[in-house]
Amino acid sequence: MKPDKLLRRIQTDRANVRFGDFVRLIEALGFELDRHDGGSHRIYVHPKVPKHLNLQDYGGQAKPYQIKKLLQLVDAYSLRIERP
């Protein structure tokens, strides 16, 4: 799913979000992978956001609390999808 379409969707429905789509969305918002511990945890950072975003793939799905956290950061820091 395209990042802009997914962002609109998760604002009303946080269920059944594929982890790969969620990663593409956060990268389109300007987050970069800071580190991957070799396990399930991936840490993403953004130059405008002082907090990191910790993600784990849960059976191919993004966890609802991670989606909620991303939406809070999008609102708090006025993040927008970056166009190439």
Contact 74, 30 (CB under 8 A): no
pLDDT of residue 1: 86
Mean pLDDT of the chain: 92
Distance of CA 49 to the CA centre of its chain: 13
Q: Model-level pTM?
A: 0.91
Q: Which residues of the chain have pLDDT under 50?
A: none
pLDDT of residue 83: 77
pLDDT of residue 63: 92
**Domains observed in the chain:** 3-76 (3.30.920.30)
pLDDT of residue 36: 81
